[in-house]
Structure 1
Amino acid sequence: MNYKVGIIYVSMILGIIGLFFSSGTLAQKKPSGPKPFPLPVKILMLDRIREREIKKEVSQFEKRTGIKVVMDLLGFEKLCTKSSIDLAAGTGEYDVIQIHHFDLPQFSRYLFDLSDWIKRDWEIVDVDDIHPVLRQSYMKCQEKWYGVPMDIDSMVLFYRPDILASYGYDVPNTWNQLVD
């Protein structure tokens, strides 16, 4: 089991970080060490443009590493349902699941603790390049490491002053005014 988890970790780091956050050097190196796990690594991710681009790179990753990857892309609601059922039932259908950082506390009891690998490979993963707030909220739960961020969720509140004015409201200047 530890060998498969190691392969999953390497796949996640090289496949996602190596392809998209490095200059390409890490992603181009042939892996040394034990032969890849004979079973495919199954990945469940959101069906968005970035993930579709990652999926296009899977064949190149497989050629470089010898690791077979099966990648399923689902819409948000289906991904949430499928990952929740898979994790809670313990089916183990997927080896890598993309979740939102705010779901980490809910799912952490089902996820593999990557702390030893993150600490060992700190420089390779370049963890110091990830903002401390992101490390804490996107990668860790109760001081254990569970994943690597792919992006940062940012929400923006937009409003139209003309619509607010048409209903007799002033533009809010504070959160309390917005709630009222």
Structure 2
Amino acid sequence: MKKKTPILIVLLLITVFTAACSKDSSDPRNSSADAGDNKNPVTIEFAAGKDASGELEKSIERFNRSHDDIQIKYVEMPAVPNEQITRYSTWFNSKSDTPDLLMIDVTWPAMFASAGWIEPIDEYVDQDYLSRFWPAATDVAKVNGKLYGIQGYMDVGVLFYRKDLLDKYGLPVPQTWDELAKTAQLILQKENNPNLTGFVFQGAKIEGATINWLEHLWGAGGDIYDGDAIKVDTEQGIKALQRMSDFIVKDKVSPLSVSTSNPADNNIVFSGGNAIFMRNWPASFAQLKGTAVDGKVGIAPIPHDVGGESHASTGGWVYAVNSNSKHKKEAVEALKFFLSDEEQKSMAIHASKIPSVKSVFEDPATRQAQPILETLQPILETAKSRPVLRNYETFSRSVQTQVNLVLSGQKDAATGLKDAQKELDEKLKS
């Protein structure tokens, strides 16, 4: 028996050691890959549209260099929102756990939250943190009392104009749509340049067509609400769409190609010196540097109808977290990095983004690098958000389809909005 005792002790030690190793390897809390240590950092996928300035990728690189435990993999999304939402729908309807962090249009939080696609982030932020932002930057993602994201940067529609051409002929910046049409006609006649057009805007069957129509509608004193009902087939609605069509057909200051154009298309035409006016977003300003119109451009409020007021549509993108992500905490850490003062300031200076952090918006260095912020502040004060609808996408698809058909000459304005109303009545009824 004495000879067997050492053997039993050795066997017992081996058993205990093996059990301990087994426990360590099977318990996810002890997994270095899940814990995100230096050897095996957690990789999160971040889906966002391409930033033409390249600053977003530089921001991601800064995050990756400063974090040993988390690394961001950039998933580039299509430039057009309609194409983005199609891809998101495919991913999330299949319960994909990636991308972990995503940027979504300001009109999507209610829809995404209702579908269970994005996660509330209330547990990760407090009121002191949220007080850093413009109220709209957080309000836009509040659904049923819960916060589902934070706006990464603000956006608002503006009118770009060729300051050099207006100065050349002693013309003021137009305040109404009729003034814009007459000013463009006069300059086109005097310039006699076959490559020059008067006014470019977004008329393709995309969200931009809905936005442009809304800005015309608001500028005519209209709205889409009739009590609790949605009404687009109204006197002001038809007037707004007719005004858009008139630029092409009656005034002949906009090319037929606006019916197939998006913001990037418009920017190509304008930056090449081939347009007098352009409706676009502030980010386009940075993209004009080094082009044929560098230093020759001004920015003004969106025009309105006679007797109306200028109301530009707000826009922008919201950081949100995939509800099926396996790394929600890490995704929020990345979100907070992008929303830090330093990164907000960098995006404002190098990518012409409008900061959602108030202090950065008012920072002297930011203002010096991006003087248009001073012009944008009053525009933001009178700007309007697009309709807050859980089924906003249904609304927008109906409107943009009919706007596009009218701009391409396939329907008249009254028929187009009558057909849009019929479709909305069928799809939005309870």
- Distance in 1, Cα, partners of 2:307 & 2:50: 37
Matches within 5 A, 1:134-153: 134-137=137-140, 139-153=141-155
Instruction: From the CA coordinates, give the structure whose radius of gyration is larger.
Output: 2
Q: Which amino acid aligns with 1:87?
A: F
Cα drift, residue 167 of structure 1: 4.1
Cα drift, residue 100 of structure 1: 0.8
Evaluate the alpha carbon distance shift between residue 74 and residue 129 of structure 1 in structure 2; reply closer, same or farther with a 3 A threshold.
same
From 40, 43, 47, the equivalent of 1:44 is 47
Map of 1:132 onto structure 2 = 135
Map of 1:71 onto structure 2 = 74
Relative CO higher for 1 or 2, CA cutoff 8 Å, sep ≥ 6?
2
Q: Which amino acid aligns with 2:112?
A: F
- Distance in 2, Cα, partners of 1:76 & 1:167: 31
Q: Which amino acid aligns with 2:119?
A: F
Q: What per-residue deviation string (whole Å, max 9, x for no partner) do you get for residues 33-79 of structure 1? A: 984884311000011235x3121232331221111210012223342
CA contact (8 A) 1:47 1:73 kept: yes
- Distance in 2, Cα, partners of 1:156 & 1:87: 34
Q: Which amino acid aligns with 2:51?
A: R
Q: What per-residue deviation string (whole Å, max 9, x for no partner) do you get for residues 100-138 of structure 1? A: 11111111121111011112xx43xx321212233211x
Q: Which has the larger displacement, 55-64 or 92-101?
A: 55-64
1:86 aligns with 2:88: no
- Distance in 2, Cα, partners of 1:156 & 1:64: 37
Q: Which amino acid aligns with 2:72?
A: V
RMSD (CA atoms): 3.3
- Distance in 2, Cα, partners of 1:156 & 1:61: 32
CA contact (8 A) 2:112 2:118 kept: yes
Map of 2:117 onto structure 1 = 110
CA contact (8 A) 2:36 2:42 kept: no
SS at match of 1:134: helix
Q: What per-residue deviation string (whole Å, max 9, x for no partner) do you get for residues 134-160 of structure 1? A: 3211x3222111112111131247842
- Distance in 1, Cα, partners of 2:104 & 2:85: 8
Q: Which amino acid aligns with 2:89?
A: S
Map of 1:27 onto structure 2 = none
- Distance in 2, Cα, partners of 1:88 & 1:65: 32
Evaluate the alpha carbon distance shift between residue 133 and residue 63 of structure 1 in structure 2; reply closer, same or farther with a 3 A threshold.
closer
- Distance in 2, Cα, partners of 1:41 & 1:143: 28
Where does the alignment leave 5 or more consecutive residues of structure 1 unmatched?
A: 4-32
From 56, 61, 68, the equivalent of 2:63 is 61
Where does the alignment leave 5 or more consecutive residues of structure 2 unmatched?
A: 1-28, 30-34, 160-175, 186-245, 252-304, 310-412, 415-430
Map of 1:172 onto structure 2 = 306
CA contact (8 A) 1:44 1:79 kept: no
From 163, 166, 181, the equivalent of 1:161 is 181
SS at match of 2:73: strand
- Distance in 2, Cα, partners of 1:172 & 1:48: 37
Q: When the two structures are superposed, what TM-score results if normalisation uses the length of structure 1? A: 0.62
CA contact (8 A) 2:138 2:149 kept: no
- Distance in 2, Cα, partners of 1:161 & 1:173: 17
SS at match of 1:129: coil
Q: When the two structures are superposed, what TM-score results if normalisation uses the length of structure 2? A: 0.28
- Distance in 1, Cα, partners of 2:143 & 2:151: 13
- Distance in 1, Cα, partners of 2:157 & 2:93: 29
Structure with the largest fraction of strand: 2
